[in-house]
Structure 1
Amino acid sequence: MPLSIPQNNSLCDILTSEGISLIDKSSFSKNIKSLKVLILNLMPAKLETEIQLLRVLGFSNNYIEVTFLTTKTYTSKNTSKEYLDMFYKTFDEIKDEPFDGMIITGAPVEHLDFEDIIYWDELKDIMDYSSKNIKSTFHICWGAQAGLYHHYGIKKYNLHKKIFGVFSHKSNNPYSKLLNGFDDEFFAPHSRYSYMKKNDFEGLDDLEILSESDEAGIYIVKSKNFKNIFVTGHSEYDSYTLYNEYKRDINKNIDTQIPKNYFLNDNPNNKPIVKWRGHSNLLFYNWIKILTSL
């Protein structure tokens, strides 16, 4: 179904070339209810993340109106101020508007304590806003860790070696609406230097660990009534996102390993093998379907 997004020509050209329908907000029929989704994009490569998320949202059967949100207390070093001013809003501009769903992306700040992050206080205000005004918030990677820490006090723990690659996962509750249609085994990319301990979830009856991996650990967590969803991986990633991260680290002389289970025969000279796209689309499709029922 069509998406309504800020009129960014570069973004629109890429999405329409992939067959994703875009529509102007004014063209929404009064007889058709659209879902309003707010995306807090904390990733450095804004356009890349926009494309990834809009691609999976466009897989749904609903009309979706998307608003992009950026932080006011921190200005991106990788995206121009002109771009942000043109296509993004700040929290002060939207805090009185109603939204159905929200996505909080990851951010390359996991080596820092949450309280040491420049925009942490602003992010707390946004997450408090989501608790009162958003039907369901979908947290991704570091965003999931930040949300679990803020809402439930669950800590993240640093790793010496990055969880990096495409890993097998299992479903702890195959009857959950969020995992509807999932296979017994499915795959998802991960790229992080931190993790959460399963023991820290004990006694928190509001949370359910829906999916985990023997290698990558906890993957999908939800709160009761799907108010908050936490996904520690990057199911939205493109075919070459892990490859680009791998090459970036090599070029910076960072000691990094080859992303596991990603290249054919784990050889970086070979083409990446995509085996997560179907379940990525299904995960966001199920979330949007849940939004319509809340």
Structure 2
Amino acid sequence: MPIRIPDTLPAAETLKREGVAVMRETDAVRQDIRPLQIGLLNLMPNKIRTETQLARLIGASPLQVELTLVRVGGHQPKNTSADHLISFYRTWEEIRDRKFDGLIVTGAPIEQMPFKEVTYWHELSRIFDWTRTNVHSPFYICWGAMAAAWHFHGLPKYQLDRKAFGVFRQRNLAPASPYLSGFSDDFLIPVSRWTEVRREDIEARPALDLLVDCEKTGPCLLQDGARRSLYMFNHVEYDSFSLKEEYERDIAQGLPIAVPHNYFPGDDPARSPLNRWRSHAHLLFGNWINQTYQSTPYDLSAIGGLAPT
């Protein structure tokens, strides 16, 4: 089944060209089934790029998914037009009375700031607390994952001496996990961050399980099984050229940045990068949507509470 998004969302044409099944809102309302309600709290500056990346993965599911784009109300993005925000996004205050089968919270380029110094931290904390009663299965990504893990579990983040940047081999520590169904024993995922969480801190928190790890860049994917929550500290959703554009942006700004590890063929930035993580990105999001579909109540009003032990 296709993903249901607004007819005029810029991502729609991109996804159609790539062969992703997209259903027009006008067609979806005629189908007598309940689509999964997935919210996307987009904290990234380039919202169109990020919403396209995530819609691409969600839209590969065989289920009908209705995607709702959400933003924090107390922050005005500088890289997305007001028209786009008005047309396609709702503030959290506008949707807080709704319930969702899943909610994705993205990263944000503020990871070196202390959490409480982020201008919208108070609102984000309220959103995190709201997920306990209004979201069946949250999926937190990169800075969003670090922020949620600190908010809920007090999991600290640590500053790195240099940016973890490139495509790194990850280890599958939980092959029996339904979220890792079909995963290889090891696989590649893009990494782009100045901070990290540490294994010993995760092991000290029994509510958290480490599912995927990397020798060079540390923990990658955690779960809080009781809350059906996933914490992805890397960028499995990135498209082929995301790291290239970050690298060129930092070079243009005169920032100290190394060539992304294991990304350009022969480590030559003049050559076009190869995407070697796409299949596992689709697997992870497909598995998450499948698990959400199997466990969420048909009656949206019943969402909220712990998973059965």
Q: Same fold (TM over 0.5)?
A: yes
2:13 matches 1:17: no
1:219 alignment partner in structure 2: 220
- Answer yes or no: is the 8 Å Cα contact 2:165–2:260 preserved in 1: yes
Q: CA deviation at 1:8?
A: 2.8
2:8 alignment partner in structure 1: 8
1:287 alignment partner in structure 2: 288
Measure the CA separation in 2 of the matches of 1:154 and 1:203: 10
Q: CA deviation at 1:10?
A: 2.6
Query: 5 Å matches for 1:267-282?
Result: 267-282=268-283
Q: CA deviation at 1:159?
A: 1.1
Query: 5 Å matches for 1:74-93?
Result: 74-93=75-94
2:235 matches 1:244: no
Q: Secondary structure at the match of 1:97?
A: coil
Any unmatched runs of 5+ in structure 2? 296-309
2:65 matches 1:50: no
The Cα offsets for residues 46-97 of structure 1, whole Å up to 9 and x where unpaired, read as 1110110000111111100000001111100111222111110001110111
Count of equivalent residues: 294
The Cα offsets for residues 142-176 of structure 1, whole Å up to 9 and x where unpaired, read as 01100100010111111120000000011111000
2:299 alignment partner in structure 1: none
Q: Secondary structure at the match of 1:139?
A: strand
Measure the CA separation in 2 of the matches of 1:174 and 1:226: 20
Q: Secondary structure at the match of 1:285?
A: helix
Measure the CA separation in 1 of the matches of 2:227 and 2:243: 29
- Answer yes or no: is the 8 Å Cα contact 2:6–2:25 preserved in 1: no
The Cα offsets for residues 229-259 of structure 1, whole Å up to 9 and x where unpaired, read as 0001111101010000000000000010000
- Answer yes or no: is the 8 Å Cα contact 2:158–2:195 preserved in 1: yes
Q: Secondary structure at the match of 1:100?
A: strand
Query: 5 Å matches for 1:1-294?
Result: 1-28=1-28, 29-225=30-226, 227-294=228-295
Measure the CA separation in 2 of the matches of 1:9 and 1:209: 36
- Answer yes or no: is the 8 Å Cα contact 2:5–2:22 preserved in 1: yes
- Superposed CA RMSD in Å reads 1.2
Identity %: 38
Measure the CA separation in 1 of the matches of 2:293 and 2:9: 29
Measure the CA separation in 2 of the matches of 1:6 and 1:31: 19
Q: CA deviation at 1:26?
A: 4.5
Measure the CA separation in 1 of the matches of 2:226 and 2:288: 12
The Cα offsets for residues 10-32 of structure 1, whole Å up to 9 and x where unpaired, read as 32211111112222335335532
Matched to 2:258, the amino acid is: Q
- Answer yes or no: is the 8 Å Cα contact 2:2–2:60 preserved in 1: no
Matched to 1:200, the amino acid is: D
